[in-house]
Chain A
């Protein structure tokens, strides 16, 4: 018995040394992964905030542009309708023999029409071939206008959401790596006990191996998640 104990003890001590080395390398790699995950999370967080800012700015721009385009359009339509009503009333008065007032209203109608025509020439909704009416008295293509106007902010919001999701993913991974590192600290503790204890050496060493395996499986799960 005495002849076999020293080689076994030496073998176990070597085994524990190797396990400690493996645990150290594992912890070092995990620390690197944790830093990397943190950096990626920070990067995604920054992008998320940047896209949110850009989307907000784009919405402000969109508000100004839409207000201008739609106000010009509504005034143009209002002037055109006013001109028609005045023309119609002038015809009615003319039929009744009130030529003087009919002429006055006809003049007013021409003024309203001049306003409307100028508005049409200034309006993007009439001058841009993407939105301009295809028929002489038709309405502009508002569907295309709204789709074009909202494309940029929608794209930015989509990018912001992607970046935000990425941030949550990497932040979660970084947190999980910290938890695994804590588990490895327990393995270090068990390996230390295995080195100092002779009677319980095998028990502590095996416990450390179980904890290390658990940490390895956990790390693998975090990596593929």
Chain B
């Protein structure tokens, strides 16, 4: 095959058209993949916000529970002190009142205050209740809520967003190559070969860049797409 025949314009038209089809397909796939990565970032963000909402709702319930216990615990302690004062007096009616308080009121208050008001570990040295410790213990009772980690989801979203940025650069390179290949299709002579060379070179650079970015980020996620 002679050099002239190999670069026959009609033949080149077909070759460039096939190249354009190939680059178009690659660009479409790259754009799709870039969007998938963007969607993954949005999903991770959404999950993070949902987790934060769930965790916040659970924490609010825990605060409510602990302060309810604290309210009963303080009432129990205060009424207990009042009963002690009644016992210390010489008034028999007060002693009888104290007996009834201890029999009817204090046990129910103590029951409602459990365990904050009844366990030594929740009593601080200064006499107040260790609300924080009780909260930690309550949180430990719900490992599923504890496992919710919005920050981890947000960090994952940030990584996807970073990948999306770089993939966009790759996709833009592929789109630029398509433009040059398009020019080579409509031009002839030296203009055609210059545009064709530029188009193919930018396409290969874009493709390589895209593959490298994908490989780095996928490996960074431990193989997760």
Contact = CB atoms under 8 A, between A and B. Distances in A.
A151 to B, nearest CB: 17
B52 A39 contact: no
Nearest to B162: A39
A46 B49 contact: yes
Nearest to B42: A42
Contact of A43 (B71, B90, B161, B172): B161
A198 to B, nearest CB: 16
Interface residues of B, number: 52
B159 to A, nearest CB: 12
Interface string A11-42: 00100010010001100100110011001001
A212 to B, nearest CB: 16
Interface stretch (B55-63, B140-148, B217-225): B55-63
Nearest to B160: A39
Given A28-B173, A32-B168, A53 B53 contact: yes
Contacts of B42: 42
A104 B86 CA distance: 11
B84 interface: yes
Contact of A50 (B52, B64, B94, B179): B52
A50 B48 contact: yes
Contacts of A182: none
Given A53-B56, A64-B63, A31 B45 contact: no
A60 B60 contact: yes
Interface string A82-107: 00000000000000000000011001
Interface in B92-136: 94, 126-129, 131
Contacts of B53: 53
A68 B48 contact: no
Contact of B45 (A13, A17, A46): A46
Nearest to A110: B85
B82 A122 contact: no
Contacts of B49: 46, 49-50, 53
B78 interface: yes
A116 B72 CA distance: 16
B56 A119 contact: no
A72 B74 contact: yes
Interface of B: 41-42, 45, 48-49, 52-53, 56, 59-60, 63-64, 66-67, 70-71, 74, 77-82, 84-86, 88-91, 94, 126-129, 131, 150, 154, 157-158, 161, 164-165, 168-169, 172-173, 175-176, 179, 183, 191
